[in-house]
Chains A and B, each alone.
Chain A
Amino acid sequence: MKLNIDGLLVYFPYDYIYPEQYMYMLELKKSLDAKGHCALEMPSGTGKTISLLSLIVAYMKANPLEVTKLIYCSRTVPELEKVVAELKNLMDYYEQQLGKGKPKILGLALSSRKNLCINPEVSQERDGKNVDALCHKLTASFVRTNHKRDATVPVCSFYESYDAHGKEMPLPEGVYGLDELQEYGRKKGFCPYFLARHAITHANIVVYSYYYLLDPKIAEVVSKELSKNAVVVFDEAHNIDNVCIESMSIKITRRTLDKCQQNIDGLSKQIQRLKDCDAERLKTEYQKLVQGLRDANIARETDVILANPVLPDDVLKEAVPGNIRTAEHFLGFMKRFLEYMKIRLRVQHVVSESPPSFLKDCYQKVCIERKPLRFCAERLNSMMRTLELVEIHDFSALSLLCHFATLVSTYAKGFVLIIEPFDDRTPTISNPILHFSCMDASIAIKPVFDRFQTVVITSGTLSPLEMYPRILDFRPVTMATFTMTLARTCICPMVVSKGNDQVAMTSKYETREDVAVIRNYGNLLVEFCSIVPDGIVCFFTSYIYMESTVAAWYEQGILDQVQKHKLLFIETQDAAETSLALLNYQKACENGRGAVLLSVARGKVSEGIDFDHHFGRAVIMFGIPYVYTQSKILKARLEYLRDQYQIRENDFLTFDAMRHAAQCVGRALRGKTDYGIMVFADKRFARADKRSKIPRWIQEYLKDGLCNLSVDEAVQVSKRFLRQMAQPFSREDQLGLSLLTVEQLDQEDTKKKLQSRMQYV
């Protein structure tokens, strides 16, 4: 259908549209017009992706000079494939409507080598790191030069033919998913990975993972040349601050340092050898370093590339300091730094300090200044290139250390160094770890906000919305949250606050071990097992809590009762084990045996795995998933947020817990024909500060009457709900209410109704 969104003609590839999709497009258009950023919350399963794509493509068609590119960042490969499929659908519709007049759009997905490689030997590898290493072994520039001299040196034929012809031959317009890229690569004999990496500079729509834009190490390689007039979309962005922080944080263990030692030894041998046979090369490198990184600086000033937070501006303006210019001096320098780090890791108690005090200590102990440290990462890269090293992968430990050196000397604020002599859980085993932790999510994402004209942050659960601009430090043009229009109430949220014996249910630390609380949680599970069909997913606050609770349930005989009705599966920290459990869980749901999955909020299951329809008829949240508050890193971050952004500790903790809770319960509902029960089993959920942070589309149905239920009452409510939801429900019932045609959309009263489905924040 063709829509008129505030004067813009939008082609929408379906015959019907959800009211909230229409509103979503309106808001999106506003921020595109204003060339500003926005944060939008819309429930999962209401067609966020297609709304985004159709509006932005239409906008690009109407204003080809204003917006030239769409960068769609998603989290996982399946999600990425979903976006590509929707995009294809949209382009087919354009073709069908306009024939040859359709816009010329090149859309493509980019993923790691592991998912794209078509080299028969390399693609055999399962592990992503190995694929990267093998690929590098075959395609590095010096390997190829060697190949020209000596034909026995293996190279990748796909890369060779891509390098010879592929760069001049741009990809024909169309939409390329990962499979299409591979197919095209096979047909032409080109390497799909490098083809795609090259093509993203002139593609109109790029779909890839967050990390390609947020992780400075990867963004430097992949995304730095993307055009300024681009719209960046972060989908499923409720965790974006953690992604930013992770990409800037570094963890160094004693093993890392041991490996560094080996790396340095290996490098010095290499240098010795090179000196004997080809001293010229080292000299040219030296000259280059004197020249400084001026080229990079020019490039940045003329604004062709994305800024890299690891490589600060002033580094580029200066020459590399004299004491690390020659290769031997640099290695000697690194050796000293490494020894210093080793000393630092030999601690008996927890140390927490700021980067300046670390640098000061470093200067006093081993006379290493701040300035050369800042150049470490660049200097190492340069050396790697000069030495023509094939196994880059082997030197990851040393490059990690160099990154650390650069970061610690660059940022005086926003980071903290924490050295822990042992793990909290095993206080007797010495296992020192140095956490260099980023506390400010805005550092990693700042270049993105600065560079691109519109950044869209969207997810099914972004509540409370006002928190995101604060922690990411940006000023949005619009922030809005949309609710689901439903022809029937297909979600049933409830807060179960007490057992049948009136003992309060809570995962509060003090009462956690209380037998009565555990027993009540057990009863809740048993009761729900007997009334909910097919799958139930339960979330605990942590692995430790789950283990202790399940052990107690076993002793109380609760597990036996559960198993009378359903099979029991448990998520563990082992990924392979968990995916096997998931597979069997789904099987049990399919064939009517029914199953319970016990998992952990913040675990693999709670993010990214959908439990739609019979795979999750009920989700039970045992307790509020607060993050482990005793962690030093978290404490440092909370302190930082309080000082810098005036966010109180409690506010942030509650915000973080509630977004994870919302994410967990949101797993059950993946569309308007789906239905599910959401049980919040903790009396604290009923408090206003928690309740108000639940996404609006859930909150709307969490009536006061459902906020303080005992187990029995919850069972009665659920029983009635399940019976009502099992009644036949067809599209005709939705039409006009939660599903609109073009004509219905144009009516005046519909428009008025629509306004109430949205709320600005």
Chain B
Amino acid sequence: EAIQEDEKGSLQASVDDIISKAKKRKLLEKIKNVRLGMMRHLFLIIDMSEAMSDQDLKPTRLLSTLKLLEYFVEEYFDQNPISQLGIIITKNKRAEKVSELGGNPRRHITTLQSLADKVCHGEPSLQNSLELAHQTLRHMPGHASREVLVVMGSLTTCDPDNIISTISMLRDGNVRCSVIGLAAEVCVCKKLCKETHGSYSVILDECHFKDLLTQHVTPPPATASTESSLIRMGFPHHQLSADKEERPSMCMCHLDSKNSQGFSSTGYFCPQCKSKYCELPIECKACGLTLVSAPHLARSYHHLFPLDQFREIPTAQVGSNVLCFSCQTAVQELNVYICDNCERIYCLDCDLFIHETLHSCPGCASSRQTQQSAKMAGFS
């Protein structure tokens, strides 16, 4: 029988199987030593049309989406410290930029939270929102990666003009567009993603939605047409007012705000012009230097040197009653995964967890010898 049914006669199992296989394949595709677009400029396009008030995600599609996006924005800046993000919403055949490109996660999260009170109505316009994103992304420097991520609940788009020309414009402008659909596969979205080398996916449920968003957190490989250039960066120290003579001052980020927030003696000072900022990463408003902290950059390290893939071998080959090294439970599946360096055995779920989240093999990390050799392998 081609498709296995479970006892209830449902085909869910076989679909799940395909999904997990796809997951594994995605990991295998991750090649190391590839050039990545680490300086990302990403526009989030959020559909706010009538379809988003549907209740198939709880409580509504919009609220669920916004909540997951909050998490996404945090993760995004966590993993891509030197990147920027902007938010566009589309409803009633129009597109509106609610948050400009910027590196401050908090500002974006507040914007997202404020969106929850707005009403969803009308149809979305994919074309208008893509044009709006392109207007800004067009001016980004050549070495930065330009991306658009659309979260689309509606199955239709109401456009003023032929969207096909917009798609080819985006392709020529080297903008990578990805779409996450909340309901079903729409032809035009598929086309958009294919043309611009983005990825198109449709959610199954909230969990899967989160998975799909997480996939967009890791930086995509740089396309051949992105320029390579050296970037000047400043690494400001956080100065606590050790020095008694230091007077409290306004930081640059809150200069325009009415309240007294940001008025203190502590902060990060730009090494070039001495402007003060209360948080990193940020681009210096006075001299344009990119200010980051060293740990931020270090966090991007694993993207460039991912952990080696584990080898897949049938469980029967290893012997009976195999225990997974990390979760210490007996492996039930047909295949186990073995690390080539420390030769420890893992189950599929642990394998995925290690590669997706930990980025380091617990087996190798537990002894000094393997730790060293792993590091060497990573750099070679």
Contacts and interface: CB of A to CB of B under 8 A. Distances in A.
Interface of A: 485-489, 530-534, 564-566, 589-594, 613-614, 617, 703, 719, 722-729, 733, 737-738, 753, 756
Q: Give the 5 A-B CB pairs with smallest separation, nearest first.
A: A592-B188, A726-B202, A614-B187, A722-B184, A726-B185
B51 A724 contact: no
Contacts of B14: 488
Contacts of A593: 156-159
A589 B187 contact: yes
Contact of A723 (B50, B186, B203): B203
A592 B204 contact: no
A533 B201 CA distance: 14
A727 B187 contact: no
B56 A719 contact: yes
Main SS of chain A's interface residues?
loop
Given A590-B188, A592-B188, A719-B56, A726 B19 contact: no
B159 A592 contact: yes
Contact of B2 (A590, A719, A725, A737): A737
A534 B186 contact: yes
B294 interface: no
A724 B156 contact: no
A378 to B, nearest CB: 58
A464 B6 CA distance: 31
B1 A753 contact: yes
A488 to B, nearest CB: 7
Given A533-B185, A617-B184, A727 B156 contact: no
B15 A727 contact: yes
Contacts of A565: 155-156
Contacts of A486: 2-3
A726 B156 contact: no
A531 B155 contact: yes
A727 B9 CA distance: 21
Contacts of A756: 1
A592 B126 contact: yes
B3 A487 contact: yes
Contacts of B19: 727
Contact of B188 (A489, A591, A728, A733): A591
B201 A728 contact: yes
B155 A727 contact: no
A488 B16 CA distance: 11
Contact of A592 (B11, B18, B189, B202): B189
B2 A727 contact: no
B24 to A, nearest CB: 12
A719 B183 contact: yes
Given A592-B156, A592-B189, A487 B2 contact: yes
Contacts of A737: 2-3
Contacts of B50: 564
A530 B9 contact: no
B86 interface: no
**Size category, B interface:** 35 or more
Contacts of B181: 726
Given A488-B18, A723-B204, A724-B15, A591 B163 contact: yes
A479 B2 CA distance: 24
B183 A594 contact: no
Given A532-B155, A533-B155, A723-B183, A591 B164 contact: yes
B187 A533 contact: yes
Contacts, number: 103
Contacts of B123: 564
A384 B14 CA distance: 70
Given A703-B9, A729-B18, A533 B204 contact: no
Given A566-B156, A614-B186, A728-B201, 19 more contacts: A485-B2, A487-B2, A487-B3, A488-B14, A488-B18, A531-B183, A532-B184, A533-B186, A534-B186, A534-B187, A591-B157, A591-B188, A592-B157, A722-B183, A723-B204, A724-B204, A726-B181, A726-B201, A733-B21
B155, B163, B186 — most chain A CB neighbours (10 Å): B155
A724 B10 CA distance: 13
7 contacts: A485-B2, A564-B50, A590-B187, A703-B9, A722-B183, A727-B22, A728-B22
B162 interface: yes
A530 B156 CA distance: 9
A272 B50 CA distance: 81
A168 B3 CA distance: 59
Contacts of A531: 155, 183-184
A531 B182 CA distance: 11
A727 B184 contact: no
Contacts of B3: 486-489, 737
Contacts of B11: 488-489
Nearest to A591: B163
Contacts of B15: 488, 724, 727
A492 to B, nearest CB: 11
B179 to A, nearest CB: 11
B1 A592 contact: no
Contacts of A533: 155-156, 183-187
Contacts of B157: 591-593
Contacts of A703: 9
Interface in B1-57: 1-3, 9, 11, 14-15, 18-19, 21-22, 50-51, 56
Contacts of A726: 181, 184-185, 201-202
A200 to B, nearest CB: 42
A564 B155 CA distance: 11
B187 A613 contact: yes
A712 B9 CA distance: 22
Contacts of B189: 592
Contacts of A487: 2-3, 18
A594 B187 CA distance: 9
Contacts of B158: 593
Given A723-B184, A726-B202, A594 B155 contact: yes
Given A487-B3, A591-B159, A593-B159, A727 B183 contact: no
A727 B186 contact: no
B375 to A, nearest CB: 34
Nearest to B162: A591
A653 B14 CA distance: 40
A614 B9 CA distance: 29
Interface in B139-198: 155-159, 162-164, 181, 183-189
A487 B156 CA distance: 29
Contacts of A728: 22, 201
A566 B157 CA distance: 10
Instruction: Name the residue among B126, B184, B202 with the largest chain A CB count within 10 angstroms.
Output: B184
B185 A722 contact: yes
A564 B184 CA distance: 18
A733 B18 contact: yes
A528 to B, nearest CB: 11
Contacts of A566: 156
Contacts of A591: 157, 159, 162-164, 188
A594 B124 CA distance: 13
A723 B50 CA distance: 19
B216 to A, nearest CB: 15
Contacts of A594: 155-156
Contacts of B21: 733
Contacts of B156: 533, 565-566, 592-594
Contacts of A613: 187
A530 B155 CA distance: 7
A530 B51 contact: yes
A725 B184 CA distance: 8
B353 to A, nearest CB: 22
Contacts of B204: 723-724, 727
B253 to A, nearest CB: 40
A251 B3 CA distance: 53
A662 B164 CA distance: 35
A381 B163 CA distance: 60
Contact of B186 (A488, A489, A592, A753): A592
Contacts of A724: 15, 204
